[in-house]
Structure 1
Amino acid sequence: MKKKNIFANLLVVAAFGMSTITFSGCGSTKEALSISEEEKMAFAVEEDEPVTISNEDVEYEITIIDPGFFTWLNSVARPPGYYSQTFLENRNILMVLEWNQRVLQPNRFNPDLYLMQIDYQRGIDYGYDVNYQLYNYFIFFQRKYNQRLGPFVPRI
């Protein structure tokens, strides 16, 4: 079996195995978000460690390279275990659908933000870590770039 790979460059570039993964986003946030000083510092980071997670059981890997995400994940995000896997999967499905719609509309949505589709499918158990990282990337992305990837306000 071939190793599945999700790779995010600047924002997110992803591929699960042979298929591509798309993250989708709705319109920009309508209400002002309360951004802490700690979060502003993470958003201002210009160089950061990539975040890579993998699951040998399902043979996939995710790498997210977006300056500030590593710092944000380790200083601002809720800790692992805070959310249930079901919660994360349900939110990720919604946000992936919205992201993918935006990738397909480069004249309407910034193609520098929405680089490529993500093949994240309901019914596949990607594991807690992948769902946790993906969900938190979506929250980070929405807050940093003032976007809305679904019906929920991106709160921490």
Structure 2
Amino acid sequence: MKKIMFLIMVSLFVFSCGPQNKIAENKENHEIKPTKNEDDEWELDVLDTQYEYFITAVAKPMSMYSESYLKSRNTFLVTEWNSNFFTGKYRNVIESTIEYNPNENYGLKFEYRLYQVFAYVQWKYGVKMNGLSQTEVR
């Protein structure tokens, strides 16, 4: 009887460790990747319904930024975002990594929309990103 109870306890222990490995595997599969549309322009799809409202009503207009400024900020912010994802910081907000190549020419519109993702997350969820200041949102 003691052997059966011992085997049951060991089995439960082994099975209870299983989901932790699956969580680590899932983190590797979650990634936001830029895609090209039919017009050969880079696109960024944001699934949060309030993001478009934020872009039109809250965010600073695209004309206030240069593409080189946005590219340098995005390079820094993507690194910070991905670091937060892998360490589990803000796990209720940051659910995926972002694939971003600073050597790729994404264009001003894409760079602006990506930059505004970080400003939006700061505005809506209060996530503090070192690459953003409070003045990014009007």
TM-score (normalizing by structure 1): 0.60
Question: 2:127 matched to which residue of 1?
Answer: 147
Question: 1:91 matched to which residue of 2?
Answer: 73
Question: 2:104 matched to which residue of 1?
Answer: 124
Question: 1:101 matched to which residue of 2?
Answer: 83
Task: Provide runs of 4+ in structure 1 moved above 2 Å.
Answer: 53-58
Following TM superposition, by how much is the alpha carbon of 1:16 offset from its aligned partner in structure 2, in angstroms?
Answer: 3.3
Residues 55 and 135 of structure 1: CA distance in aligned 2, closer, same or farther (over 3 Å): farther
Report how many aligned residue pairs link the two structures: 107
Opposite residue 122 of structure 2, the aligned amino acid is Q
RMSD: 2.3
For residue 14 of structure 1, the aligned residue among 32, 36, 42 is 32
Following TM superposition, by how much is the alpha carbon of 1:148 offset from its aligned partner in structure 2, in angstroms?
Answer: 1.7
Q: Rg bigger for which structure? A: 2
1:48-74 CA-partner distances (Å, limit 9, x unpaired) = xxxxx957335x431101232111111
Structure 2: distance between partners of 1:55 and 1:86: 25
Structure 1: distance between partners of 2:110 and 2:38: 8
Structure 2: distance between partners of 1:138 and 1:64: 11
Unaligned runs of 5+ in 2: 1-29
Question: 1:75 matched to which residue of 2?
Answer: 57
TM-score (normalizing by structure 2): 0.67
Structure 2: distance between partners of 1:130 and 1:151: 18
Q: What percent identity do the matched residue pairs reach?
A: 24
Following TM superposition, by how much is the alpha carbon of 1:114 offset from its aligned partner in structure 2, in angstroms?
Answer: 1.1
Following TM superposition, by how much is the alpha carbon of 1:119 offset from its aligned partner in structure 2, in angstroms?
Answer: 1.1
Following TM superposition, by how much is the alpha carbon of 1:92 offset from its aligned partner in structure 2, in angstroms?
Answer: 0.7
Q: Which has the higher strand share?
A: 1
Residues 116 and 129 of structure 1: CA distance in aligned 2, closer, same or farther (over 3 Å): same
Q: Which has the higher helix share?
A: 2
- Higher RCO, 1 vs 2 (CA within 8 Å, ≥6 residues apart): 1
Residues 152 and 55 of structure 1: CA distance in aligned 2, closer, same or farther (over 3 Å): farther
- Superposition map of 1:47-86 within 5 A: 54=37, 56-57=39-40, 60-86=42-68
